[in-house]
Amino acid sequence: NSLNPNVTAADAAEKQKVWEADRDHFMHPWTDFSTFKETGSMVFTAADGVSIVDADGKRYLDGIGGLWCVNIGYGRKEIAEAVADQICAIPYFSTFGHHTTPPAAKLAAKLADLAPGDLNHVFYGCGGSVANDTAVRLIHFYFNQLGKPTKKQIISRIDGYHGSTYMAMSITGVKFDHVGFDIDQQLVHHISCPNPYRRDPKLSEEEFCRQKVDELEQKILEIGPDKVAAFFAEPILGAGGVIVPPKGYHQATLEVCRKYDVLYVSDEVVTAFGRLGHMFASQDEFGIVPDIITCAKGLTSGYLPLGATIFSDRIYEVISKPQADGAIFTHGFTYSGHPVSCAAALKNIEILEREGVCDHVKDVGTYFEQRIRELGELELVGDVRGRKFMMCLENVADKRTKALLDPRAKVGNRIADACQKRGLIVRPLAHMNILSPTLILTREHVDFIAETLRESILEVTETLREEGFLSH
């Protein structure tokens, strides 16, 4: 992790130029511009394997896999070659109507093969938000064609994250994400988050589960089953704080949806393509076959943008009947089925399969989970949750009462900074820290992450005590 002696004065000048251009002109996503104007960005210039390298030549273990997405790790020449070959063969052509290219067709067949049940049809966009927006448009079209035009309302959960387009953000239930913005309030309804850590301590986990499932049923009855079209849920709520719902929750919510003819959309933007040790987690990890799965991120391991909305034969049959009013599926994007992104995805899936990445995650991901869980013994860590390579530490002021620290303590940021100093990138999220590394970590990498986090958390605990943020 030492500075690279090969960084020259010309490199330093180039870095300064990039830093200034970025600070002055690149409007970053999800950024507080009041501080960005002063601090600007860290510049990263290289990456390989499990690590990234900054413009000073300092290497960091990437504990967040880019943004829960670089599943196969960095520097895969095979992907570069597949992409280059596709660009030379045919870089782009419209897929509107009756035109296609081999990668788009082959990838759709591959996804149909990997997805559970009768989810055999694939619509492409450029990311997760668009995959969810597409799901909404598809669902509305489906119910219109089915002769149930009142069925339009969407139910999702507080702390669910579904993206940043207008519709996906409206379905998102992370309250912080809505501050200062508007969301659609005609179509979307939020029910509470199935977070076992924050449940009423008088309830057993089973009772808590029942309560959350009943809440979904009550919400459907309150709105009217003839009006509710779909329920959107991540198998593990990711950006809301890696919340694993109680055992049985997924099956029970799916049953409620089936009872009222409500479509179940499983948002697998984070959980698909190996993160939990399966290509898709809905059935293999949680025992459900939803009506629609949305995915992105790990689909190309982040090498190129791509998202997909994978849906059932049942939906396809309805939307593919000749429509009396002449309606066709007027939805799609210039880049739907982009051949270069699809070629990257095909190669990515080939690598995941050939290298047995899911089995690796079942092995080393389980070790990762165990090492991260050990941090739960630290004074500051109230909860450690998640599965395999998707974990979160919730930091608190008092483990017994679960009271939070004063937000001015910025505990998540402090821990992330302390880790960064030691050559590890973790993600701060309010008072929490999230880990979603590449899926190719070795046990030695896992030990480095666990030990670096421990040292960093202990250091931050002492500073917080000195500054009076901890009462004991």
Place of tokens 């598809």: 138
Q: At its nearest, how many Å lie between ligand PLP and the CB of residue 281?
A: 11
The length of the chain in residues reads 472
Q: What's at 316, amino acid-wise?
A: Y
Please name the amino acid found at residue 144: N
Residue 209 or 239 with smaller CB distance to ligand PLP: 239
**Residue 26 beta carbon to ligand PLP: minimum distance, rounded to whole angstroms:** 17
Residue nearest to ligand PLP (CB): 128
Given 62, 234, 285, 394, the residue binding ligand PLP (CB under 6 A): 234
Name the residue nearer to ligand PLP (CB basis): 161 or 280.
Answer: 161
- Binding range to ligand PLP, per CB under 6 A, among 55-63, 72-80, 121-129, 454-462: 121-129
The nearer residue to ligand PLP, 162 or 385, going by C-beta atoms, is 162
- Residue (271 or 456) nearer to ligand PLP, CB: 271
Among residues 63, 103, 127, 274, the one that binds ligand PLP under rule CB under 6 A: 127
Shortest spacing between CB 168 and ligand PLP, in angstroms = 6
Q: CB–CB of 377/112 below 8 Å? A: no
Q: Token pair for residue 283?
A: 């059935």
Q: Minimum distance from CB of 10 to ligand PLP (Å)?
A: 35
List the strands of the sheet with 427-429, edge to edge: 381-387, 390-395, 432-435, 427-429
Q: 387: Cβ–Cβ under 8 A, 6 or more apart, which residues?
A: 236, 244, 276, 285, 365, 369
Which CB, 436 or 461, lies closer to ligand PLP? 436
Q: Which stretch binds ligand PLP (CB under 6 A): 137-145, 159-167, 178-186, 325-333?
A: 159-167
Determine, following the binding rule CB under 6 A, whether residue 387 of this chain makes contact with ligand PLP. no
Nearer to ligand PLP, 126 or 464 (CB): 126
Q: Is 238 in the site for ligand PLP (CB under 6 A)?
A: yes
> How many residues in the shown chain lie near ligand PLP by CB under 6 A?
14
Amino acid at 2: S
Judged by CB under 6 A, the residue of 83, 136, 229, 239 near ligand PLP is 239
Of 51 and 172, the one with the shorter C-beta distance to ligand PLP is 172
Among residue numbers 257 through 276, which ones bind ligand PLP (CB under 6 A)?
A: 267, 269-270
Closest approach, Cβ 295 to ligand PLP, in A, equals 9
> Of these, 157, 162, 427, 445, which contacts ligand PLP (CB under 6 A)?
162
**Interface with ligand PLP by CB under 6 A: which range of 124-132, 274-282, 406-414, 423-431?**
124-132
**Structural tokens at position 205:** 């986990």
**Does position 281 bind ligand PLP by CB under 6 A?**
no
- Please give the angle made by the CA atoms of 62, 64 and 69, to the nearest 5 degrees: 110
- Distance between the two ends of the chain, CA-based, in angstroms? 35
From the list 280, 269, 297, 391, the residue with the least C-alpha distance to 72 is 297
> Closest separation between CB of residue 70 and ligand PLP, Å?
13
Residues 295 to 334 in contact with ligand PLP, rule: CB under 6 A: 296
The tokens for 113 are: 């093969």
Integer Cα distance of 16 and 22 in angstroms: 10
Residue in 414, 465, 390 with CA at minimum distance from that of residue 65: 390
8 A C-beta contact, residue 28 and residue 67: no
Alpha-helix residue ranges (DSSP H) falling in 92-187: 102-114, 128-145, 166-171, 175-178
**Closest CB 134 distance from ligand PLP, rounded Å:** 11
- Cα–Cα separations (whole angstroms), residue 324 to 80, 138, 145, 327: 47, 18, 9, 7
With respect to ligand PLP, which residue has the nearer C-beta, 296 or 342? Answer: 296
| Residue with smaller CB distance to ligand PLP, 116 or 125 | 125
Residue owning tokens 């997805």: 115
Cα–Cα distances (Å) from 185 to 119, 178, 255, in that order, read 30, 12, 26
Between strands 263-267 and 51-54, the pairing is unpaired
Task: Give yes or no for residue 161 binding ligand PLP (CB under 6 A).
Answer: yes
State the minimum distance, in angstroms, from the CB of residue 136 to ligand PLP.
13
In a 10 Å sphere around its CB, with 0-12 CB exposed, 13-18 middle and 19+ buried, how is residue 445 labelled? buried
For ligand PLP, the closer of residues 101 and 134 by Cβ is 134
Residue 232 is a binding residue for ligand PLP (CB under 6 A): no
Q: Is residue 163 part of the contact set for ligand PLP (CB under 6 A)? A: yes
**Judged by CB under 6 A, which of 51, 86, 129, 283 binds ligand PLP?**
129
The helix or strand, by DSSP H or E, that contains position 387, with its residue range, turns out to be strand 381-387
Q: At what angle do helices 443-466 and 411-421 cross, to 10 degrees?
A: 130
| Interface residue list for ligand PLP (CB under 6 A) | 127-129, 132, 161-163, 234, 238-239, 267, 269-270, 296
